[in-house]
Amino acid sequence: MALVLATQAPGEPEIFASLQGEGPSMGAPVAFVRLSRCNLACVWCDTPYTWHFAEDERPHHGNTTYERKANQITLDEADVAARIAALGQKRLVITGGEPMLQGGALATMLEHLPAMAVEIETNGTAKPPARLDVRVDQFNVSPKLAHSGNPAELALKPEMLDFWASEARAVLKFVIGAPEHIAEVNEIVRKHMISPDKVFLMPEGTDSETLREREKWLVEACLSHGFRMSDRMHIHLFGDTRGT
């Protein structure tokens, strides 16, 4: 097996050290590895270069397609692990794309990194295989609401929402673009008996002005429903750029 990664530049895998910009570990120093390929297609996705290749007809609001060869690289798991270890961080964030599409190869990679704490950022549509599951400390699950453009039968599988609701290592982070999207979150939380303190609301946006404007009304939603709010700190620090 091998891992298929996104690139920062042609031929250069997107493996880097930074501060975690979202969710419960926001602000923590981490190593990142970004994988390529996704089973969903969010119209507002901020990493379309991981999946929206020239032959992919799924919609994205940017209408830009990417040349696969320049934006995707395949590396041996041990090579990826060595590059991560060289960054000198104690915590690893595995993001994508959708990491669960490469669960077996990820487990093999993590065998080379036994001392690292591991977070996986996932859309929550698939369970981790057992070999991967035992090596993960935190799951940042981001179920996709209707405004993502994904069919509910693909993005919001009831059995998977039940699974993550009962998983102690999981938080559920919902991307919110408008106040009316919060009602959909409330219905999911109610239907699947999700503890509100496991729920993060995060504004959709790739610039500071948009994020700050949406956070103003997200504050009241979090106070009303007992949810937590996640900023996108990396956008404020670095802008919408790769390798940050």
- CATH at 26: 3.20.20.70
Contact by Cβ (8 Å): 63, 176: no
Task: Domain count for the chain, please give it.
Answer: 1
Contact by Cβ (8 Å): 199, 227: yes
205 is a domain residue: no
219 is a domain residue: no
Structure confidence at residue 19 (pLDDT): 98
Structure confidence at residue 1 (pLDDT): 79
- pTM of this structure: 0.97
pLDDT tens, residue order, the chain (244 aa) = 799 999 999 999 999 999 999 999 999 999 999 999 999 999 999 999 999 999 999 999 999 999 999 999 999 999 999 999 999 999 999 999 999 999 999 999 999 999 999 999 999 999 999 999 999 999 999 999 999 999 999 999 999 999 999 999 999 999 999 999 999 999 999 999 999 999 999 999 999 999 999 999 999 999 999 999 999 999 999 999 999 9
112 is a domain residue: yes
201 is a domain residue: no
- E-assigned strands of 157-222? 170-176, 199-203
Tokens 């998977």 correspond to: 160
Q: What is the DSSP string of 128-158?
A: PPHHHHTT-SEEEE----GGGT--HHHH--H
78 is a domain residue: yes
160 is a domain residue: yes
Q: What's the token pair of residue 3?
A: 């891992």
Task: Give all strands of the β-sheet with 3-9 in edge-to-edge order.
Answer: 12-13, 3-9, 72-75
Structure confidence at residue 113 (pLDDT): 98
Structure confidence at residue 218 (pLDDT): 98
Q: What's the token pair of residue 62?
A: 């940017």
156 is a domain residue: yes
Q: Is 140 helix (H, G, I), strand (E, B) or coil?
A: strand
Q: Specify which residues 139 forms β-bridges with.
A: 120, 170
Q: Please provide residue 2's backbone torsions phi and psi, each rounded to the nearest 5 degrees.
A: -155, 165
231 is a domain residue: no
Structure confidence at residue 111 (pLDDT): 98
Domain hosting 46: range is 3-175
